[in-house]
Amino acid sequence: MVKKLLHTRMRVNDIDRTVKFYQDALGLKLARRHISPRGAQLAFLQTPNSAEEIEICQLANSPAVQVQPDLMHLAFEVDDLAAFAAELAKKGFPLSDGPTPSGSGGVIAFIDAPEGYEVELIQRAQA
């Protein structure tokens, strides 16, 4: 039986552009960066209040990443989606979908990350 989730890996074409997006748009922190024994460039990003990391990977001499629509997304909780979206827009990251009320009473929206990956933003219903 596994003990816990450590990280989720996403392969990208441009590791620098992707890391900058997650730092600038979402405020994630670069935990570490190195070259793997197999020659992949790796960057690990930390999310506030989460132990799991996001691993960004760029493989040399491999086919270009082509993310299919709705293949996968990362979801992040925010306190105030309207305020967060306004700050994103000021930084040049407009919402690509939403805001949309969710069935649980919250609100969701999406922004597009490099390579075509989606990022879901969730404001949970107030208790």
Enzyme catalytic residues: 120
DSSP secondary structure letter of residue 125 = P
Strand, helix or coil for residue 86: helix
**In sequence order, which residues have a C-beta less than 8 Å from that of residue 16 and are 6 or more positions away?**
none
Question: Quick check: 109 and 94 in contact, CB under 8 A?
Answer: no
